[in-house]
Amino acid sequence: MKESTITTKILNSLNRREGEWYYKVVATPFQIAGLPDIIGLSQGRFQAIEIKINRGKYKCHVRGLLTSLQYATLTKIAGLGGNSRVGLYLEGDLGFYLIPFKHVKNYRLITDFKSENREYFTFFT
């Protein structure tokens, strides 16, 4: 699946949650580089989610999927009190993982999240 398809599925899944609102940031030539793919609010707290697709590289670190600019942006948002996460889709899965940024910063392996089944959400069809 393409990243745009995955992003739409994740966005639809997140917006079904009570008391939360999410929006897809549309990329344009005039946009600030490094902005997260999805922004939103949950219980009054700013949410920033960068969508990443892993196509079979389960041995790599989650941090390795982010560009340095994306990493810096998520770090700044988290430092200002926002909730930064990576929405990770593993190719072939029927859902996605929402990985808290503190785990991304600790260079957690993708296999750790798959085995722990942490914050896993299935796509609603």
Query: Which domains, from first to last, does the chain contain?
Result: 3-122 (3.40.1350.10)
Neighbours of 114 (CB within 10 A): 16
Q: What is the pLDDT along the chain (125 residues), one digit of tens a residue?
A: 778 888 888 898 889 888 999 999 988 888 888 899 999 999 999 999 998 887 765 555 666 678 889 999 999 999 999 999 988 887 777 778 788 887 776 655 555 655 554 666 666 54
Residue 61 DSSP code: B
Selection from 45, 30, 84, 40 nearest residue 62 by Cα: 84
Whether the CB-CB separation of 57 and 44 falls below 8 Å is answered with no
- Quick check: helix, strand or coil at residue 22? strand
Q: From 94, 113, 91, 111, select the one nearest 102 (Cα to Cα).
A: 113
- Asked if residues 17 and 27 have their Cβ atoms less than 8 Å apart, the reply is no
Indicate if the alpha-carbon torsion angle 9, 10, 13, 18 is positive or negative. negative
